[in-house]
Amino acid sequence: MVMAVLRRLGQTLFVLVGISVLVFLVFFATPGADPTARIAGRNASPETMARVRVEYGFDRPLPVQYARMMEKLFVTRDLTSYVNRGQKVVPEILEAAPVTVSLVSGAAVIWVVLSVVMGVIAAALRGSWVDRGLMMLGLVGISIPVFWLGQVVNLVTQSRYHESWLFSWVPGLGYVPLTEDPLGWFRALALPWLTLAVLFVGIYSRVLRADLVAVQSEDFMRTARAKGLSPARVLLVHGLRTSMITFVSLFGLDFAQLVGGGALLTEVVFGLQGVGRLTYQALSNLDLPLIMATVMYSAVFVVIANAVVDMLYLLLDPRVRDGR
């Protein structure tokens, strides 16, 4: 077990290095494009160009350039944006990360709880109108574009009905740090959470229901019933526990993808200064250092989340523990 964990950590490190090399090559070693000009900005003086070239080592071989870049990202952390001159990129991301993490974690709690409840009820009442209704609801959730839903939520809670008793608690758009005002944090994020969760509740409840229905025909479920267990116990203790394996791997990927900046639309609609929004700005301004940094950040999250999922596998499935 310890060996398996260590091995997995080693792989994670290896993959991270690989990704950083890849990202570096894509942005700074694309043939025919001079990264110096892009980093220095439009109409830069020859002196600036020369300074940038020396600073980033663009006059030296690629491995040195790579080492410089990694040093700027992780050690000195003084990679600077060229659109907003003097703006340091790494602190900017570190400032945006808690916003995104707050948004995604809250939404994740909602979507996991709701989808497990919906999936289990639908599977238990398979074929009934409850099952059909819940799955239809899930499909509706999947089909609603998140930016549209966010806009509608804003329209309803921010302007038209803001004064009504129902929505008067909703604060203006924006983020309130948890450490400053926990209640304010909760109120500011409640609606973004729900909005972001809708899509995933739909997907996850449908996936879980399908898994639970498939597991019903397994031999061990028949054994469990032959033991005289109640239907609820058979479904929850034997069925759900086994079906959680797919659920967790799906969750790891989605969660990482969102924390890495995938919640961009929700962040933009609700005015949250998160990583997704930062990426969006960097892309629209072609802010190369910022893009580089956000991509690295997102890759780190996806890879780490994958490692965490694999560790969870070890807990969930004893067969994986033995490497079978």
* Residue ranges binding other proteins (CB under 8 A): 127, 218-220, 222-230, 233, 237-238, 241-242, 316-319, 322, 324
Interior CA angle at 265 toward 152 and 280, to 5°? Answer: 140
Smallest gap from Cβ 219 to other proteins, in A, equals: 4
- Residue nearer to other proteins on the CB measure, 78 or 322: 322
**What is the torsion angle, in degrees rounded to the nearest 10, for the CA atoms of residue 117, residue 121, residue 123 and residue 129?**
-130
Nearer to other proteins, 132 or 160 (CB): 132
SS3 45: coil
Q: Which one, 116 or 259, has the nearer CB to other proteins?
A: 116
Nearest distance, CB of residue 250 and other proteins, angstroms? 18
Q: How far is the CB of 223 from other proteins (least distance, A)?
A: 5
Output the smallest distance, CB 63 to other proteins, in A.
Answer: 46
Angstrom CA distances, 170 to 34, 102, 157, 159, 241, stand at 49, 17, 7, 11, 38
Render 233-290 in DSSP notation, one character per residue. HIIIIIIIHHHHHHHHHHHHHHHHHIIIIITHHHHHHTT---HHHHHHHHHHHT-HHH
DSSP symbol at 144 = S
CB of 21 to other proteins, least distance (A): 39
Q: Hey, what are 212's tokens?
A: 């639970």
Q: Which is nearer to other proteins, 60 or 132 (CB)?
A: 132
Q: DSSP 3-state assignment of 88? A: strand
3-state secondary structure 221-243: HHHHHHCCCCHHHHHHHHHHHHH
160 or 222: whose CB is closer to other proteins?
A: 222
Q: Given the complex with other proteins, which of 270 and 313 has the nearer CB atom?
A: 313
**Which residue number, 46 or 323, has a Cβ lying nearer to other proteins?**
323
Three-state DSSP class for 80? Answer: strand
Q: How far is the CB of 122 from other proteins (least distance, A)?
A: 16
CA-based nearest residue to 209, from 143, 141, 121: 121
CB of 315 vs other proteins, minimal distance in Å: 10
Closer Cβ to other proteins, 163 or 219, answer by number: 219
Q: How far apart are CA 248 and CA 229, in angstroms?
A: 26
Taking each helix axis from N to C terminus, what angle separates 129-143 and 182-216, rounded to the nearest 10 degrees? 130
Minimum Å gap between C-beta 4 and other proteins is 15
